[in-house]
Chains A and B, each alone.
Chain A
Amino acid sequence: MNLLYPKYLQCKNSLFLQRRTTLLQAVVLFCVGILFWAGLFIVFYRVLVYFQSIEVLGNFLAAKLLSMVLLTFFSILVFSTIITAISVFFLSEELNLIISMPYDPEDLYHAKLLETILNSSWMVLLFSLPVFLSYGIVFHQGGAYYGILAATLPPFLCICGTLGAGIALGLVKTFPARRLKDILFLLSLLVLVVIYLLFRFLKPERLVDPEVFVTVIDYLSSLDMPAAPFLPSQWMTDCLATILFSRTTTDVGFNLGLLWSTAAALVIIVGWLFQSLYFGAWSKAQEARSVKITSTSLFAYLLEKALRPFPLQVQALVAKDIRCFFRDTAQWSQLIILGAIIIIYLYNFSVLPLDKSPIPLRYFQNVIAFLNLGLAGFVLAAVAVRFGFPAISMEGEAFWLIAASPLTLRRFVWCKFWMIFAILSFLGQVLIVCTNILLHTEKSMMILSSVTIFLMTFGISSLSIGVGAAYPKFRYENVAQISTGFGGFLSMIIALLYILLMVVIEALPVHLVIMADMARRSLTWREIVLIGISFCTIVVLTVVACIVPMQIGLKKLAAREVL
């Protein structure tokens, strides 16, 4: 425990010795966390109350939901633990000091395992509480339920943490040196596999379409069947479901025994692995990566040609950012997730049952295409927070090079803006044009949505870069950390409000045009004036959303005490 003492002191100091502004940010984040927590509780409470109102099926659905939730927690926890364990066991700065001391490997293993479990599971644990609480309240449970919950959670978290640590140990031992690129790439693939498995385990199509079952009994038995009897999430589900739904087919003692014995066995087995593999793996992880970049001459040539029309400083910044992006696995691997989002997004539109709608098809198509603007805007805002918001911070501690050079901060920040703008406008147009083609919308709607998303891209790009410049984080371990702070949150919230406002303002002219079109009449003068006012408001809003965040961000970046 002595090895964890410095961590405890760090937490204590960061809590009590914070500057006022950081405390303010913490208070805001805390309030938002509470709101989210309450929201989650309300959603689950209402869903469970609704389930309870369904005769016969209610308990089955509630049990299935619990199984799905725990399986999701299990997958998230195992994956996040692998990533956390790589940092905690192998890349943490303090390890150089600890390893140089006469440390006890067993102490180190236990301390690091505990740290890994705490780091990776606290958030999942925190946000799982409203779920468990809503089950307890809706199904009128008392001490027994909460007792079982308290008895099942520690081994469940321990199993996830130990599994993750074991996998991380194996990965770092297998892949030589600091080849995190390979490891993370593998992890990305693992995520895809886990998501795929998870999807199959949940069998969502069966839940929504009972017609596929020959009889109601088949349907019920499929719901009642454990999805994955060998997974700890199912053992925990069985423990809780036995109490919640007074089941007789499952046994609390047996499942509790499975959880605790598996947790204990894994701690011991991974402990053995640790004793025999750790030092070698840690040594390999310290080796610097020495790679001669020779295979990129064509890439360099094309890049240089493409950037030639721009000023030299812009060429330098863009080429540098592109190279760094594709050489940093933490950055480019996010493209896999982005690709998945686009595929799922477009797939959802391709399977929309437009022909089954009771609303006239033409009207329905246009309404969906219009609402799609908000949805596409949301995707752009999420991508902007992931890629645009960290753009300034990603200069990292090398930012002094920019500050000491004759490049003005204004040009630097605007250069970042145009880079993210180019990416977002391409993505926005792909989403909008493809979905409109899938929806078979009319040309006028296609042009309207295309122009609107183009305008929105200005505001969304500016918000991500501007807020990113106002709240830069030049010291970070992982690029993904940058957007998870207060600034990233603020940027996302303002971007969502902006999108909402744009959609609301545009609703009136779209409605007027669609209705006139449906009634096969031309627009009245009053309608034309209203449409004109709406579009002017949209243009003004876009200009404000584009200029103001950039100015504020630039001002704050220039005023930073330490550049």
Chain B
Amino acid sequence: MISTSNLTKKYAATTAVNALNLEICRGEIFGFLGPNGAGKTTTIRMLAGVLRPTSGTIHIGQWNMSIHPREAKQIIGFIPDRPFLYAKLTGKEFLYFMSKLYGLNPKHADKRISFLLDFFEIAYCAGELIESYSHGMKQRLVMCAALLHQPRVLIVDEPMVGLDPKGAKLVKRVFRELAQKGTTVFMSTHSLEVAEEMCDRIGIINEGSLIAVGTMTELRATTGGTAEKLEAIFFKLTGEEVLSEMAVTSNIRS
């Protein structure tokens, strides 16, 4: 459902993403991990069609993103890490705006908007201006918008940021149900527990290159361990060590 071939993005002399090759199937939840500045957000933005790759191709379903961006975007739901929205619209107006951008039938949009507002528990503030929303409420609103047109591919950057435990639980449930119904979920996260709990497969990117990809079992085999947690695998693969809590504390206090 998502396929990248030698996907590369360069910013002047810096290579943010280097020859990324990925194949993600229908109904799969794919976790994309990596340290800060590894190229996760750049990859996600290219997949969502808001950033142009330097070279390589992206296929969403049967559509090549550079040749048929409109068709590709029509089947994507994108949730960025920072939910910048139109502050002067109400939540409901924003969802109507999005439904029209995606060409939804107004009658169908009505029902879908009501359902999503209720489902994400923000119906009570749907008539208020977005500028008065908290980060979590905006995040829920963006999720409503991303799911409005029932996308076949959901691309999510840090889905749990800003959400309270209830919201995070809700999101996990949504992603699982969507995947069961055949939606492909591509998500980047810093929460290794979330990735371990939810993802069918995990890709780890470091300094722009994909250094490992597979199921938890496959990743364990890569690092030679048998019962390792994802955290240990991640640090081994990215070459970073878990800092001793004692050392950190003593350094901070001194």
Which A residues form the contact surface with B (CB < 8 A)? 288-294, 312-313, 315-316, 319-320, 323-324, 327-328, 396-398, 400-408, 559, 561-563
Contact = CB atoms under 8 A, between A and B. Distances in A.
Contacts of B100: 312-313, 315-316
Q: Which of B49, B52, B86, B104 has the most CB of A within 10 A?
A: B86
Contacts of B127: 292-294
Nearest to B49: A404
B132 A289 contact: yes
B2 interface: no
B97 A320 contact: yes
B129 interface: yes
Contact of A405 (B85, B102, B128): B102
Given A288-B131, A396-B86, 17 more contacts: A292-B128, A293-B127, A294-B127, A312-B101, A316-B101, A320-B89, A320-B97, A398-B85, A400-B78, A401-B98, A401-B145, A404-B49, A404-B73, A406-B71, A406-B102, A408-B70, A563-B51
A398 B128 contact: no
Contact of A320 (B70, B80, B84, B86): B86
A538 to B, nearest CB: 37
Contact of B103 (A312, A327, A408): A312
Given A313-B103, A316-B101, A396-B84, A291 B50 contact: no
A382 B6 CA distance: 48
B238 interface: no
B85 A401 contact: yes
A278 B131 CA distance: 24
Nearest to A292: B127
28 contacts: A288-B131, A289-B132, A291-B129, A292-B127, A292-B128, A293-B127, A293-B129, A313-B100, A316-B96, A320-B89, A323-B93, A327-B129, A397-B84, A400-B84, A401-B86, A401-B101, A401-B145, A403-B50, A404-B73, A405-B98, A405-B102, A406-B69, A406-B71, A407-B101, A408-B70, A561-B51, A562-B51, A563-B51
A560 to B, nearest CB: 9
B101 A288 contact: no
A562 B9 CA distance: 12
B89 A324 contact: yes
A293 B90 CA distance: 7
B70 A406 contact: yes
B86 A398 contact: yes
Contacts of A312: 100-101, 103-104
B254 to A, nearest CB: 22
Contacts of A404: 48-50, 73, 76, 78
A563 to B, nearest CB: 5
A405 B71 CA distance: 10
Contact of B101 (A313, A396, A563): A313
Contacts of A291: 128-129, 132
A400 B132 contact: no
Nearest to B134: A288
A404 B49 CA distance: 6
A312 B74 CA distance: 14
A46 B6 CA distance: 68
Interface string B180-192: 0000000000000
A294 B129 CA distance: 11
B88 interface: yes
Contact of A289 (B73, B93, B129): B129
B13 to A, nearest CB: 14
Contact of B73 (A313, A398, A405, A561): A405
Nearest to B76: A404
Interface in B119-143: 127-129, 131-132
A400 B49 CA distance: 10
A293 B11 CA distance: 43
Nearest to A315: B100
Nearest to A411: B70
A319 B98 CA distance: 12
Contacts of A408: 69-70
Interface in B61-85: 69-71, 73-74, 76, 78, 80, 82, 84-85
A289 B130 CA distance: 10
Given A320-B89, A323-B89, A405 B129 contact: no
A406 B90 CA distance: 22
A407 B49 CA distance: 12
A292 B126 CA distance: 9
Contacts of B88: 323-324, 327-328
Given A293-B128, A293-B129, A316 B97 contact: yes
A313 B97 CA distance: 8
Contact of A403 (B49, B89, B102): B49
Contacts of A563: 50-51
Contacts of A561: 11, 51-52
Nearest to A290: B132
Contacts of B52: 559, 561
A563 B52 CA distance: 9
A306 to B, nearest CB: 15
B90 to A, nearest CB: 5
Interface in B126-176: 127-129, 131-132, 145
Nearest first, the 10 closest Cβ-Cβ pairs linking A and B are A316-B100, A397-B84, A290-B132, A403-B50, A327-B88, A324-B88, A312-B100, A406-B74, A405-B101, A404-B78
Nearest to A396: B84
B84 A398 contact: yes
